[in-house]
Structure formats: structure tokens, C-alpha cells
Amino acid sequence: MKNLIYLVLVLSSLTAYGQIIQNVNKTSGTVPKPITQIDSIRFNTVTNQMEIIQTNGNAENHVISDIINVTFSGQLIGTLTTIDCAGATTTGTLTSGSAANGVSTAISYTGGNAGTYSAQNVASSGVTGLTASLAAGTLANGNGSVTYTITGTPASAGTASFAITLGGQSCSFTIIVSSPAAVLATINCAGATTTGTLTSGSAANGVSTAISYTGGNAGTYSAQNVASTGVTGLTASLAAGTLANGNGSVTYTITGTPASAGTASFAITLGGQSCSFAVNVTSLAQQYPANSVFCIAGATAIVEVTNPTTGRTWMDRNLGASQVASSSTDQNAYGDLYQWGRRADGHQCRTSPTTATLSSVDQPAHGNFIIAPFVPNDWRSPQNANLWQGVNGVNNPCPSGYRLPTQTELNNERMSWSSINGAGAFASPLKWTLTGYRNLSDGLLGLVGTDGNYWSSTVSGTNSMDLYFNSSGASTGVSKRAYGFSVRCLKN
């Protein structure tokens, strides 16, 4: 019985250290058994047998006289307290479509028992095509680390994950797989398509150029900022991105203020291919209808302003104004005074000469202000109510893409003011001014700095509708078409 107790104690001690192989060496041969499968060994003197009691309750019997000896052999199986995949350190980089080379990941651990571990090959998930391999080895007695070698070719860009188990502990580590650098077969600057227009002296707004290409490799490219040549002052900017796998296009955004009219050129390089695209820059005058006549201030700068309440975008100044208003009585912001329905033929200049001869055509052959003191008080006889109607309307004096507002559109602006008077008009995003008017009967200026009068495109019988305001109020109403009023252009 003492021997039985001793053997049981030995077995209990051994099983705590890992998987040990027990070898029962007999005259008929050796019977091995992993120690973790044995519960106890006892000697039965009645049957003259050594009984090996297994953990499943079964008994394996050996005749004592047949046993030469019992030996124990094997290695200590490695165990860990913790393994730290979150703190994994990867050396080298992985690129989609390229075989891994010199890439490895070190994983630290604690509580090693100096036991051994087998080789591992762990396939990646997420980004597939990779294998993390660990050579067989021995854990440190305490803290240490193991290094997995990464091989294979990642199938895509993204995150490759590896689920590992070591020393009884499991975790997953990840490696980022990058897209390859951009490579193109061809890039087509000659077929570039530009959206928006560039005007000399005016800041670019909403202008971009699309460039098509072939043979993209789904690689990534960095952001670019390319300065213009020829016409200077502009920059073509491309945000960082990824090429298509095949054919596609990229879009450069054009910013800045062109220094002159002419051709702005941009030399670009993308995906190993280089070319230059060109964008035409027009003069400010070219943005206005052909044969427009400009007054002292020249062609009016085209700068957008949006009223957040109405959501509509306008020019930030009156036609003929040289600047945005600094006050409601800023003379440089008054601008010109148009007779309703007339083009910019010079009559709108505040000091243009007058004539009493009414016009029988839509476009008089002169730039005089036509006085019309008799009913229906229109510069044209017979009247034409179809002028100034829309962006393509006859005699529209606004620049390309702009038009006269309707009476409803003017009234919506009026109703958005903080106060319904001249003060509210100037305080609005559009900074309306007290422009005065030009009298239909003699061509003289009236109420400049006191009243604001702005035409709409809307007709009412023999008259047309306008916006009127002064220090005490504001309204929309009807006026005779021979009056000279201000024009503020609305983006179509």
C-alpha cells in the first residue's frame, strides 16, 4: 500500500507540469501512455497484476512478473499566463498584390513555464492570402516574446487578422495591408473637361477639371497642388485617393484669382504619367452679353453672395458698382440706372445724354437715356412686355448665368430683412443701397441717398414691378418703364 501511495503522488506531481509519457517496459514490449490519461497505478497482489487506472475509469492490467520496469519520458508542454496581441509589433510592410518580404510580428507574453511549443501556420482572415508562421521552440521561464513570420500575397488592401493560440492562451493580432502606389497606362489631358468658368481678376468659384485615364492599378496617390503657368494666380488641387482598377478619371479643383485673360496651363504627373491641361480665362467683359457698354467703373466684378434665409445666390453688388457697399449711402456701390427692358448700351450710365425720341425696336442704335413724359411712359413704342424674361431673355444685361429677379424673388429678399426699411436692406447679406432713380420726364437724378429702387423682370399691364425702400419702409410695387432704376442680378 505504501508503494501505491508513492506512485499516485508521483503521478499527481508530474501531471501538473505538462504531458509526460509513461512507458511500461515489458518482456513482450513497451506500452506507452500519456500521463494525463492515467489516474493512478496500483498493484494487486491477489491477481499478481499492476493495474493502470485511466481517467475515463477503465483499467489496463499488466502481469507483474512480465514487467521489467516503468519509466517516464517526454518534454514539458509550454503554458502562459497572458499573451499580448494588442501590443504586437510588426516589422516591414504589406502591399496588396505584392508578396510579403521581410515582414514579421512579435508577440509578448507573461508567465512562461520554460515549456516547449509546436510550429504553427495561421491563415489570415479579413485580407486573405497571408500566413503567419511560428517555428517550434521553447518559452522563457517568465516573460518573453515569440515572432511570427508573415508570408504570402495579400489579396486586397485592408486589415489582415491572425487568430493564434499559444501556451493555452488565445488572441488575434492584425496587420494593415496598404494599396499599391498608383500606376497608369495613359492619362488624357487633351480630353480634359472643365466645369465652370474663369474670369480675369475674379476668384475662381466652382471650377474643376476632370482628367480621364486608362490602366489604373487600384493604387493610391497623394494629394497634389499644381500652380498655373501662362495665366498665373491659379492652383489645380487633387485630393489624395485611389485609382480605379482599369479606366477612370480624377478631378482637379481650380482655385485662386487669375492675373489676366488667356490660357492657364497645369503640368500634372499621376501614376507615372505626365501631361498638361489648359483652362481658358476670359476677361470680365467677356462674361457679359456681346456689345455691352460699361460705364466709368467698367465691367462689374462677378462675386457671389447667398442669403441663407432664402437660399438664393446673387451678385454681391449692383450692376455698375465698383465695390460691395460699405454703407447704405456708399456712392461707389450705387451702380447704374437702367430703363426697364433695355440692354447695357450706355444709357444706364448716370450721366448719359438724353433724347426724347422713343425707340421702335428693342435695341436702339444709341446709348442715350430716352425720356418719355407721356402715357404709357415707356422708352419703347410700341411697348414690348417680353424683354428681360429669364437668363436668355432679350436684352438681359446680367453676366452669363445670371438674370433679373422676379417680383416674387425680390419680395422674398425683402421679407428676410431684420427690419423692413433701408436699414434692414443694408443689414442683409446683399447690402442693398439707397441708389435713387433717374426721372422718366427729364433724365435727372432723384432721391439719391434717400430711396432705393430696383427693377424686377415681372410686368404688370403697361408697367413693370420693382422693389422700393427708404428709411421708413419697404415694398414692392409698379413703376413706369422709362424710369431709370438699379439692377441686382440673381444667379439662375
Q: Dump pLDDT digits (tens) for 153-175.
A: 999 999 999 999 999 999 999 99
Please, what are the domains in the chain? 2-73 (2.30.30.100), 82-178 (2.60.40), 186-282 (2.60.40.10), 284-492 (no CATH)
Mean per-residue pLDDT for 276-294?
95
pLDDT at 295: 96
Distance between alpha carbon 149 and the CA centroid of its chain, in Å? Answer: 37
pLDDT of 21 strictly over 90: no
DSSP state of 77: B
| Predicted local confidence at residue 67, as pLDDT | 77
How many Å is the Cα radius of gyration of the chain?
Answer: 45
318-335 mean pLDDT? 98
Task: Round to the nearest angstrom and report the end-to-end CA distance of the chain.
Answer: 107
User: Per the confidence metrics, is the pTM higher than 0.85?
Assistant: no
CA distance 110 to 120: 20
- Structural element, H or E, at residue 409: helix 407-415
Q: What is the pLDDT of residue 368?
A: 98
pLDDT of residue 95: 94
Q: How confident is the model at residue 20 (pLDDT cuts 50, 70, 90)?
A: low
pLDDT at position 75 over 70: no
pLDDT at 483: 98
